Structure 1
Amino acid sequence: MTTAATAVWGRAEQQDFRARVRGCLLGGAIGDALGAGVAELTVDDIRAAHGPDGVADFVPAYGRRGAVTAATQLTLFTVDGLIRAQVRRDTGAWHPPTDVHRAHLRWAATQRDWGPDERRKDNGWLAREEWLYARRDPAPACLTGLGDESLGTLDKPKNPTARDSGALVRSAPFGLLVGWEPQLVCQLAVECAAQTHGHPTAYLSAGAFAVIVHGLARGETVDGSVQRALSLLTPRPGHQPVTDALKQALGAVRQGIPSPARIAALGNPENAEDALAVAVYCTLVSEDIRHGLRLAVNHDGPSHTTATLCGALLGALHGETALPPAWLAELEGRATVLELADDFAMEMTQGPALHGPSVSAQGWLHRYPRG
């Protein structure tokens, strides 16, 4: 395959791709929800509240079990932006960073408005989902970076000192562009991260994460996907903290039984590169998705961040059927996540049958307007 627009997909390929897209988006949301209720707690605090084994199930956050944070909200709008970019390609207006930025501006509106603005006909369906109109502890840099309509770029990034995970946690969807070459996936993720997080470790971590997801969504191994991310990052200025963190995660796999102490040795997950390292490590040593996510939650760092990343990786690796049904059943916004995942899979595999020079499915263009 060369590009998502020209790839020829067999039925088995389409089914596998949809399962991985669903797995990635739902897995990330499950991890987010699993860590949301203990995001600010140390591992000692977690054990004191939930027993010696720590968190093993959803705990209440934002007034309910299974609630997600801004990480999932932003991820959904990233998907929306990527679909809109494909739809707008027919017009010749092919600049995915702009479409993703516009989608994130629609997310920013959910953080300040009471509910959907029905007067905005170009919003599409996702921005009309009322449950998304809730502030769930977004990274300050996301709010300030999207506080006006100016587009941050690598030459002139927004928030050049921001090195937290606010851009990283929304970057899994770039990796689902399996028809793209890995270096293009990396570049797009980096450019879109710089729209809110201008520190090199923040935007390069987003690029590395997208490349790893990309490899897993293509059916490759975790180790092989990480190695590709390392090779793509190495020529880029400022890569050292990110590549060092990934190498440390790979090395930690051989250092004994996984534990919160071993996770703590990977660094401070408040920083994007260390959060990525923790997620990669938990993915590599996981026995299954449940085990990996519990490791990603029960430590001293921001549990929802590391578990979001780990859940997306494990979901892309194993597909939706490997996700724990009990967690899926309680997940906030599950229907929306599924609907968007299926729309993404359909656009990427069958876009020419939905829109193009000779066809125009009006229902689809109403969902994803070209404006």
Structure 2
Amino acid sequence: MAVRASMGRGNVVTATASAATGVWGRAEQQDFRSRVRGCLLGGALGDALGAAVEFSSLADIRAEHGPEGVTDFLPAYGRRGRVTDDTQMTLFTVDGLIRAQVRRDTGAWHPPSDIHAAYRRWYATQRDWGPDERRQDAGWLAREEWLYAQRAPGRACLTGLADETMGTLDSPKNPDSKGCGAVMRSAPFGLLVGWEPQLVFQLAIECAAQTHGHPTGYLSAGAFALIVHGLARGDALDGAVQRALAHLATRPGHEETTDALRYALGAVRQGLPTPERVASLGEGWTGDEALAIGLYCALVAEDVHHGLLLAVNHGGDSDSTAAVCGNILGTLHGETALPPAWLAELEGRGTILELADDFAMEMTQGPALHGPAASAPAWLARYPRS
């Protein structure tokens, strides 16, 4: 089943808004915006905390930073608080989702194509020196100069997006790749709270196959999107995981991802959380392991601060596992639960907030911004239909 125009409009229902009328009350809009902000900022915080130790072993982390390991931002890419390709690609996922909603007015609606175009705009940031001001169809995000920095982008993401051909589930890019480069960018799909879970899952895996063609690579992304989707709708974390497991069970090649989620759930019952227990779930280089580690740390977290530090202090892909954990905890608790001292140093915080608020406004008030008959020119300048 491909994701096409049969999908529900993303501004019609949440767990708290009326499914019958599609009307969002003020309190529901504020809660949703807080969860969107929490998801994107929380993921960026985890990403920035892990950026300096992404390729370090646990022994090296402890030797350099003491027995507690990482306890705060460390200098990475020139200063504290810098993010990596994980956050960059997540932001372009959000940009693509907004553009997909805007393009629906034209009748030419195929969300995977809009996400692919967004990822190609990210790819341009890794190739070009800076924004091309002549491209009026690029939108505002692609004109943010700070995004034109290479922060250890994944090989599968670069090769998968190097040409205009879009990978699909039937003909995926990098069919042997099950790296975490798809799961780490897929939280925004879960913020489509007006969509049915099976369609969120389908969209996430179709877009993951644009760079990561192994079933574990794209199914872990779909499972992650479903977990975030449940939380954004107000579900408990354990319930959201169970729903993801149920959807995984229907897909060929799900075993590695299913086992990873079950290992994460089982680890919660094995005693107090430690870096060694995190290490028992893997290193996070593959999608299933990154998801398992991020999920486990969210499940046992005393608060966001504790969960993110647990997700960073292990030998492996620390920025991706902590980004996944941050996406989960930020969606679950909202932006006010995030540590303010870290937010104050976070690179690109203004851009992330601006994009999060645009996404929340599009999902809750889209018809007031654009439609077949009339549209706000400023909105179309930010998110062109072309």
Q: How many matched pairs?
A: 370
Matched, 1:276 2:291: yes
Match of 1:231 in 2: 246
Task: Kindly state the Cα deviation for residue 103 of structure 1 after the two structures are TM-superposed.
Answer: 0.4
Matched, 1:302 2:317: yes
1:316-355 to structure 2, matched below 5 A, reads 316-355=331-370
Select 1:82's aligned residue among 79, 94, 97. Answer: 97
Match of 2:215 in 1: 200
- Over the matched positions of the two proteins, sequence identity in percent amounts to 73
Select 1:156's aligned residue among 147, 168, 171. Answer: 171
Select 1:4's aligned residue among 7, 10, 15. Answer: 10
Matched, 1:221 2:236: yes
Task: Kindly state the Cα deviation for residue 49 of structure 1 after the two structures are TM-superposed.
Answer: 1.1
Q: In terms of mean alpha carbon deviation, does 354-363 or 114-123 score higher?
A: 354-363
Task: Kindly state the Cα deviation for residue 357 of structure 1 after the two structures are TM-superposed.
Answer: 2.8
**Structure 1 stretches lacking a partner, 5+ long:** none
Matched, 1:64 2:70: no
Task: Kindly state the Cα deviation for residue 91 of structure 1 after the two structures are TM-superposed.
Answer: 0.5
**Native 8 Å contact 2:35 2:333 kept in 1:** yes
Give the counterpart letter for 1:215 in structure 2: G
Select 1:256's aligned residue among 262, 271, 280. Answer: 271
1:25-36 to structure 2, matched below 5 A, reads 25-36=40-51
Match of 1:45 in 2: 60
TM-score, length basis structure 2: 0.95
Give the counterpart letter for 2:222 in structure 1: G
Match of 1:127 in 2: 142
**Native 8 Å contact 1:24 1:315 kept in 2:** yes
Q: Equivalents in 2 of 1:354, 1:326: separation in Å? A: 35
Q: Equivalents in 2 of 1:360, 1:264: separation in Å? A: 51
Task: Kindly state the Cα deviation for residue 359 of structure 1 after the two structures are TM-superposed.
Answer: 2.6
Residue 80 of structure 2 aligns to a residue in which SS? Answer: coil
Matched, 1:245 2:246: no
Q: Equivalents in 1 of 2:210, 2:263: separation in Å? A: 28
**Native 8 Å contact 1:70 1:136 kept in 2:** yes
Select 2:119's aligned residue among 95, 104, 119. Answer: 104
Q: Equivalents in 2 of 1:93, 1:15: separation in Å? A: 31
Residue 49 of structure 2 aligns to a residue in which SS? Answer: helix
Q: In terms of mean alpha carbon deviation, does 27-36 or 47-56 score higher?
A: 47-56
Match of 2:3 in 1: none
**Native 8 Å contact 1:33 1:331 kept in 2:** yes
Q: Equivalents in 2 of 1:357, 1:166: separation in Å? A: 36
Residue 164 of structure 1 aligns to a residue in which SS? Answer: coil
**Structure 2 stretches lacking a partner, 5+ long:** 1-7, 13-21
Task: Kindly state the Cα deviation for residue 33 of structure 1 after the two structures are TM-superposed.
Answer: 0.1
Deviation per residue, 1:265-291 (Å, 9 max, x gap): 112311110110011100000000000
Task: Kindly state the Cα deviation for residue 5 of structure 1 after the two structures are TM-superposed.
Answer: 3.6
Aligned Cα root-mean-square deviation (Å): 0.8
Q: Equivalents in 2 of 1:169, 1:47: separation in Å? A: 25
Q: Equivalents in 2 of 1:257, 1:355: separation in Å? A: 51
Residue 122 of structure 1 aligns to a residue in which SS? Answer: helix
Match of 2:371 in 1: 356
Task: Kindly state the Cα deviation for residue 50 of structure 1 after the two structures are TM-superposed.
Answer: 1.1
**Native 8 Å contact 1:74 1:170 kept in 2:** yes
**Native 8 Å contact 1:79 1:340 kept in 2:** yes
**Native 8 Å contact 1:286 1:292 kept in 2:** yes
**Runs of at least 4 residues of structure 1 off by over 2 A?**
none
Give the counterpart letter for 2:180 in structure 1: S
Match of 1:92 in 2: 107
Residue 136 of structure 2 aligns to a residue in which SS? Answer: coil
Task: Kindly state the Cα deviation for residue 3 of structure 1 after the two structures are TM-superposed.
Answer: 3.6
Give the counterpart letter for 1:340 in structure 2: L
Residue 224 of structure 1 aligns to a residue in which SS? Answer: helix
Q: In terms of mean alpha carbon deviation, does 174-183 or 266-275 score higher?
A: 266-275
TM-score, length basis structure 1: 0.99
Task: Kindly state the Cα deviation for residue 29 of structure 1 after the two structures are TM-superposed.
Answer: 0.3
Q: Equivalents in 2 of 1:150, 1:21: separation in Å? A: 31
Matched, 1:17 2:23: no
Q: Equivalents in 1 of 2:286, 2:49: separation in Å? A: 20
Match of 1:367 in 2: 382
Residue 37 of structure 1 aligns to a residue in which SS? Answer: helix
Q: Equivalents in 2 of 1:195, 1:235: separation in Å? A: 21
Matched, 1:292 2:307: yes
Q: Equivalents in 1 of 2:369, 2:28: separation in Å? A: 19
**Native 8 Å contact 1:353 1:359 kept in 2:** no
Deviation per residue, 1:80-109 (Å, 9 max, x gap): 000000000000111100000000000000
Residue 98 of structure 1 aligns to a residue in which SS? Answer: helix
Matched, 1:211 2:217: no
**Native 8 Å contact 2:283 2:317 kept in 1:** no
Task: Kindly state the Cα deviation for residue 263 of structure 1 after the two structures are TM-superposed.
Answer: 1.0
